């Protein structure tokens, strides 16, 4: 097994279990414990884990983001539920923004039965997912490719987004908090999502339940900037009261 593949698998295990043990990884990958320690050293230096005695724990800091290829395997069932609900909000012929989140890719796939959509995105994965979709207009924002994220960001991406006027923007986030608002792990991603909100009429936040009551590094917007929240499980009574107070529509399975 190549070192890069082993690294990806270690990250997946960290994402799932929140911690790893050197001796267990050594047996799993049939390599020496010293090799595993070197792997964990590299991940620690990249800020993806925190080395501990005999292993490592996931770095859950709000400013750290796992590579896209690892994140897309997390909570796939929840993303599928969210994607199915979002399709109910999109009409044939709509012009929509889709952000570069793993949830955004699931939504793009679920939207394929729709007709004549125009999709503007800075996600390489969304572009690939929709590359052979007949009768749609698929528009790339351009911009600078962000390493490990499969997303285009920067001034050119923002300028491109602001040149359009879309019906709906579909964004996700890393943190969703009543006081701190909607947040992401990286300022460049927050800026692009802000531009999508600025250039659309209806704002849809697609967010799984694990992001509630969490704050990440960079603010995208206040909670009342979104019109509809789509999630994979019924929020708490406190959140339901909050949505009612802010006049935000909430959609979750069973409703």
Report d(CA 159, CA 138) in Å as an integer: 17
Helices (H), the chain: 3-17, 22-29, 33-45, 68-71, 76-87, 102-110, 124-129, 155-162, 187-198, 237-246
Q: For residue 2, what pLDDT band results from cuts at 50, 70 and 90?
A: confident
180-237 per-position pLDDT tens digit: 999 998 899 999 999 999 999 999 999 999 999 999 989 999 999 999 999 999 999 9
98-157 per-position pLDDT tens digit: 999 999 999 999 999 999 999 999 999 999 999 999 999 999 999 999 877 889 999 999
23-55 per-position pLDDT tens digit: 999 999 999 999 999 999 988 888 888 898 899
pTM score over 0.85: no
Q: Are 248 and 231 in contact (CB under 8 A)?
A: no
Domain annotation for the chain: domains and CATH numbers: 3-60 (1.10.10.10), 70-251 (3.40.50.1360)
Report d(CA 159, CA 148) in Å as an integer: 23
């Amino acid at each position: 097994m190549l070192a890069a593949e082993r690294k990806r698998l270690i990250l997946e295990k960290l994402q799932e279990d929140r911690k790893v043990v050197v001796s267990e990884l050594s047996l799993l990958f049939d390599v020496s414990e010293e090799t595993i320690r070197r792997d964990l050293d590299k991940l620690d230096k990249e800020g993806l884990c925190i080395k501990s005695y005999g292993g490592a724990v996931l770095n859950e800091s709000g400013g750290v983001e796992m590579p896209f290829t690892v994140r897309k395997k997390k909570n796939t069932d929840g993303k599928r539920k969210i994607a199915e609900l979002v399709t109910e909000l999109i009409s044939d012929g709509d012009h929509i923004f889709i952000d570069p989140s793993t949830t955004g890719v699931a939504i793009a796939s679920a939207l394929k039965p729709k007709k004549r959509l125009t999709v503007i995105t800075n996600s390489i994965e969304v572009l690939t997912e929709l590359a052979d979709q007949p009768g749609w207009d698929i528009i790339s924002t351009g911009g600078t490719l962000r390493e490990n994220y499969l997303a285009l960001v920067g001034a050119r991406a923002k300028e491109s987004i602001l040149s359009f006027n879309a019906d709906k923007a579909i964004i996700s986030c890393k943190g969703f908090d009543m006081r701190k608002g909607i947040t992401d792990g990286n300022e460049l991603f927050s800026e692009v999502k802000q531009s999508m909100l600025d250039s659309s009429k209806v704002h849809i936040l697609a967010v799984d339940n694990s992001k509630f009551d969490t704050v990440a590094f960079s603010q995208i917007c206040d909670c009342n900037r979104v019109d509809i929240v789509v999630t994979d499980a019924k929020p708490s009574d406190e959140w339901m009261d909050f949505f009612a107070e802010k006049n935000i529509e909430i959609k979750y399975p069973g409703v």
